[in-house]
Amino acid sequence: MSSYPKTSALMARGIEFLGSEHAIMCGAMSWVSERNLVSAISNGGGFGVIACGAMTPDLLDAEIAATKAMTDKPFGVNLITMHPDLTDLIAVCTKHGVSHVVLAGGIPPKGSVEAIKAGGAKVIVFAPTLALAKKLLRSGADALVIEGSEAGGHIGPVSTSILAQEFLPELAQDFVVFVAGGIGTGDMIAAYLEMGASGVQLGTRFACATESIAHPDFKKAFFRAKARDAETSVQVDPRLPVIPVRALKNKGTESFTAKQREVAAVLDRGEVDMNEAQLQIEHYWAGALRRAVVDGDIENGSMMAGQSVGLVKEEEPAAEIIVKLMCQAEDALARR
């Protein structure tokens, strides 16, 4: 018998889909979601996801192997669709028998969903609009994450509460849908489950788990921060569309504005095309996030964080965070 009967009942489809004890995913966070955090989440009953980010196929190969050595529970791999070696990265996942691949960062390129499924894995996608979500789910994607603008990292323009009202009534009956963005407590989890979600995905709440390798200064900045400190980046040039990023405001936020001007100038001079310009922006983020997470440079690095950072107060083991979330969800449902 589950200790969380009401919550587990509402999570049943998500649990079956993920193969985990609870339908709580820890969203991939570049530099943070590596073997230690991913295995701790999966061992704690949640579902960890490796952030491939800009890793080479060899690095991903090693990371998956190391994660497998630390957990025998299922976990996923998050691949960024614009990665130039996407095909090889998919092959690495297939080689390891990875059960779930999450495709993030844009519309999956032609053939990628098919290639993942041919390798035996389930495919989880993001979709910014309901029409695209329907198209992706009908053409082979196995599950969807809707992620609102409260989230940390790269975000869309619409809040989670609106996406949930728009997508869940249309999709939740027939498809497995996870809700992400701005979830910091089990009360919120209960609410989205009641609206039809099969499960949830959290990032910010898990970034400072004990097992997270994020630098102690990165964690301390999270504990100090309030919701309002997690701001979205500003796009400076209308011709260079950059995906907004939510992060704690610091000097790095300003240097991103300068970077955009620099990339816009080389674009103007015709030295790079739009694709390359956008890649340069993404590489900037990857480097800046590494500086914050790994080196602990919380002034100049990118402190990607969601608004739920205001609810993160202390370092706790991943398994304890999961228990807390499940207890809160169960209490909330019991009070109904």
Ligand X SMILES: Cc1cc2nc3c(=O)[nH]c(=O)nc-3n(C[C@H](O)[C@H](O)[C@H](O)COP(=O)(O)O)c2cc1C
Q: At closest approach, how far in Å is the CB of 180 from ligand X? A: 4
**Residues 98-117, interacting with ligand X (CB under 6 A):** 104
Which residues contact residue 55 at a Cβ distance below 8 angstroms, ignoring those fewer than 6 apart? 63, 89
Nearest to 305 by CA among 235, 249, 234, 242: 249
Torsion angle, alpha carbons of 148, 193, 178, 322, to 10: 100
Written as six digits, the tokens of 285 are 């983020």
Q: Which is nearer to ligand X, 180 or 221 (CB)?
A: 180
CB of 136 to ligand X, least distance (A): 15
C-alpha distances (whole Å) from 256 to each of 150, 243, 292 are 20, 12, 14
Among 7, 20, 30, 36, binds ligand X (CB under 6 A): 30
28 binds ligand X (CB under 6 A): yes
Contact assessment for residue 136 and residue 154, using Cβ atoms and an 8 Å cutoff: no
One of 44, 48, 53, 252 touching ligand X (CB under 6 A): 53
Comparing CB distances to ligand X, the nearer of 64 and 267 is: 64
Between residues 242 and 267, which has the closer beta carbon with respect to ligand X?
A: 242
The vertex-201 CA angle with 21 and 212, nearest 5°, equals 85
Of residues 20, 36, 67, 78, which one binds ligand X by CB under 6 A? 78
**Residue 91: Cβ within 10 Å count:** 15
Lookup result for tokens 């674009």: 267
Q: Which of 44, 76, 203, 252 binds ligand X (CB under 6 A)?
A: 203
57 contacts ligand X (rule: CB under 6 A): no
Cβ–Cβ < 8 Å for 11, 22: yes
Query: Among residue numbers 136 through 165, which ones bind ligand X (CB under 6 A)?
Result: 147, 150-153
Nearer to ligand X, 28 or 298 (CB): 28
Stretch that binds ligand X, among 56-64, 69-77, 175-183, 258-266 (CB under 6 A): 175-183
Q: Is the dihedral of CA 104, 108, 114, 115 positive or negative?
A: negative
> Does residue 269 contact residue 285 with C-beta atoms inside 8 Å?
no
* Three-point CA angle 82, 83, 89, nearest 5°: 130
Instruction: Decide whether 33 or 43 has the Cβ nearer to ligand X.
Output: 33
Is residue 21 a contact point for ligand X (CB under 6 A)?
no
Smallest separation, CB 232 to ligand X (Å): 13
Asked if 304 is part of the footprint of ligand X (rule: CB under 6 A), the reply reads yes
Q: Contacting ligand X (CB under 6 A), which of 15, 18, 24, 29?
A: 29
Question: Can you tell me which of 6, 35, 205, 219 binds ligand X, judged by CB under 6 A?
Answer: 205
Residue 308 sits in the site that holds ligand X (CB under 6 A): yes
Which residue stretch of 89-97, 163-171, 178-186, 315-323 sits at the interface with ligand X (rule: CB under 6 A)? 178-186
Q: For residues 22 and 44, what is the distance between their CA atoms, to the nearest angstrom?
A: 9
Is residue 197 within 8 Å of 145, Cβ to Cβ? Answer: no
Residue 260 lies near ligand X (rule: CB under 6 A): no
Q: Give the count of residues interacting with ligand X (CB under 6 A).
A: 28
Q: Locate all alpha helices (DSSP H) within 160-250, ordered by sequence.
A: 160-171, 186-194, 204-207, 216-224
CB of 239 to ligand X, least distance (A): 26
**Residues of this chain that bind ligand X (CB under 6 A):** 27-30, 32, 51, 53, 78, 104, 147, 150-153, 180-183, 201-205, 207, 304-306, 308
